[in-house]
A and B are shown apart, each in its own frame.
Chain A
Amino acid sequence: MNLNKSWKSVFVITAAIYLVSFVVGILIHAVIPQTETPDRLIVPQSYLQQISAMKTISIEDAYSNYTDNSAVFIDSRDNAEYREGHIKGAINIPYDRFQQDYPKYKKLLTNDKKIITYCHGTGCGLSVDVAKDLMAIGYSNVYVMTEGWPGWINANLPISVGKEP
């Protein structure tokens, strides 16, 4: 076989593999929906009362703040859950460790950036607790991302695992 003459077939085969893979991938994705729809949640009345007193933010708006770096995300779940996966760049202030952990991040939490808290999604009050603690010490730019971690994951947005950034 003449190696140089057969380069054309190499390129053709490569292009064919890429094209077929692309078509198969797109077709399979269209036939089998990949993301599971979340079950309907029964939201406690107490949560609805609490959340009505807070500023909330949708996943879409939070992501646009994420992309232009105009928000700090606070994961208010416990540290083990945070390590398993969290919004990329988010800091971890567990709801029950606010007093101990807040001083570590004091410099990051300024009034010129949104502070977005989140936890396990709709019905989860941990992010509300942390948001309340922040508002009590004078922050006015605090938002609760009500759809939380499940919403972020379902939207396939950037995450990281392990220790804090």
Chain B
Amino acid sequence: MERKCVINFALMRPVIILVLRVILGIVFVVAAYGKLLHPDALVSTVINFNILPLGLAKIFAETLPWIEMIGGIMLIIGFGTRGASFALGWLLVSFIIAIWINIHRGVSMDCGCFDLFGMNEKIGSAILIRDIVFLIVAIALVFTKEFMLSIDTVLERKTIK
């Protein structure tokens, strides 16, 4: 009798979620690290986006890398995963709006997304699409019940016991 090899997506789902969660976490940690190395460049970038007033732009630039760093680490270790995804999701929404506005204005400017390895990306539709993909992943994580290999799951099992 011939046995059909069927990929069971229901079984694969936790693994896919795990991979996406860790990748998104690493992306944010790397992005945060680059920003923390060049704080002045980040302030200039945020001001250049020309959306927030000067004072708020500086506060945003000082806060942003830490949200990315803390949120990213939480995703990787799977602690408060849904909350971290929610926090990073709103961050991505703000990036998407800011980039979209500046593309619409016709401004050619540095994205400041990953200020590392000499990366000097200009804002454009590719970066917009990339952020939308990240946002979709973040939303998927917010609506996920259980996370494989996560502190959340360990803690929850302890509470049930």
Interface residues of A (CB under 8 A from B): 1, 3, 6, 9-14, 16-18, 20-22, 24-26, 28-29, 34-35, 88, 153, 156-163
Q: Are A153 and B44 in contact (CB under 8 A)?
A: yes
Measured between C-beta atoms, what is the minimum distance from B146 to chain A in Å? 7
DSSP class of A's interface residues: helix, strand, loop or mixed? helix
Contacts of B24 in A (CB 8 A): none
21 sampled A-B residue pairs with Cβ under 8 A: A1-B146, A6-B82, A9-B82, A10-B82, A10-B83, A11-B86, A13-B74, A13-B87, A14-B84, A14-B86, A17-B71, A17-B84, A17-B87, A21-B70, A25-B63, A25-B64, A34-B40, A34-B43, A88-B50, A156-B40, A161-B110
Number of interface residues, chain B, beta carbon within 8 A: 37
Q: How many pairs of A and B residues are in contact by the CB < 8 Å rule?
A: 93
Instruction: Give Cα A156–Cα B142 distance, bound, in whole angstroms.
Output: 36
Instruction: Give Cα A11–Cα B69 distance, bound, in whole angstroms.
Output: 18
Whether B2 sits at the interface, judged by CB under 8 Å, is no
Measured between C-beta atoms, what is the minimum distance from B143 to chain A in Å? 7
Measured between C-beta atoms, what is the minimum distance from A37 to chain B in Å? 13
Instruction: Give Cα A25–Cα B42 distance, bound, in whole angstroms.
Output: 13
Q: Are B108 and A162 in contact (CB under 8 A)?
A: yes
Among candidates A1, A22, A28, residue contacting B145 with C-beta atoms closer than 8 Å: A1
